[in-house]
Homo-oligomer: A and B are copies of this chain.
Amino acid sequence: MKIYETRTAPNPRRVRMFLAEKGIDVDYVQVDIQSGENLSKEMRKKNPIGKIPILELDDGTCIAETDAICTYFESIQPEPPLMGTSPIEKATISMWQRQVEFAFMLQIGMCFQHSTGYFKDRMVPVPEYGKQAGINAAKYMSILERRLGESEFIAGDQFTIADITALCSMDFARVVNIRMKDEQVNLQRWYENVSSRASAKA
């Protein structure tokens, strides 16, 4: 199997970090998203919406979407669990994972795409929307700050996929100059903790 990815992009990092936590080695194929290599006819056969990362299995089956790729690896190698084991754990982790994705990571991505015009060859940037998305991302940091005042990790007392998503989002947010505030001490404590895991360098 192999994974098509772009080393510098935030979603592929989520997959690499997830696999590092599981101790799974996979071959990686680099795709140049800036030049639009991901939009080629060949890549769209692997993923019709033209995004990376994509996991290609040995029989040619392709799985796109970061969370779907992680779901595959969680299924074939449940240990250590990063997506929960009991019904309540699975649902709670899924809830935090999705809120971090929609209310934080997506907002940072939209701020990046609409403010910088990085992909202006393939989309119409709307800078005013980019600004709103950045404000939304900063607001969600306040929600994380409160949450991390009551639990060690985002979804509870265990490190999970939601922490991976939040860490990769937080580091990506620096690109658009969205950062933790000095008074967000719980967020900072959590950030230093998860950043120090070996998997954060994957």
Q: Point out residues on A near B: beta carbons under 8 Å.
A: 48-49, 55, 57, 61, 63-65, 67-69, 71-72, 75-76, 86-88, 90-92, 94-95, 98-99, 102-103, 106, 114, 123-124, 126, 128-129, 132, 140, 143, 146-147
Contact call A65/B143, Cβ cutoff below 8 A: no
Contact A48 B143, CB 8 Å, known A65-B99, A129-B129, A132-B124: yes
How many chain copies does the complex carry? 2
A67 CA to B65 CA, complexed, in Å: 15
Output the nearest chain B residue to A92 by Cβ-Cβ distance. B63
Contact A123 B129, CB 8 Å, known A67-B94, A90-B75, A91-B69: no
Contact call A99/B129, Cβ cutoff below 8 A: no
Contact call A65/B126, Cβ cutoff below 8 A: no
- 21 of the cross-chain contacts (CB-CB < 8 Å) are A48-B147, A49-B99, A49-B143, A63-B88, A63-B91, A65-B94, A65-B98, A67-B94, A68-B91, A68-B98, A71-B90, A71-B91, A72-B87, A72-B88, A72-B91, A76-B87, A114-B129, A126-B128, A126-B129, A126-B132, A129-B129
Contact call A123/B132, Cβ cutoff below 8 A: yes
Taking CB atoms, residues of chain B closer than 8 Å to A123 are 132
A55 CA to B94 CA, complexed, in Å: 13
A106 CA to B71 CA, complexed, in Å: 22
**A66: shortest Cβ distance to chain B, in Å?**
9
Output the nearest chain B residue to A63 by Cβ-Cβ distance. B91
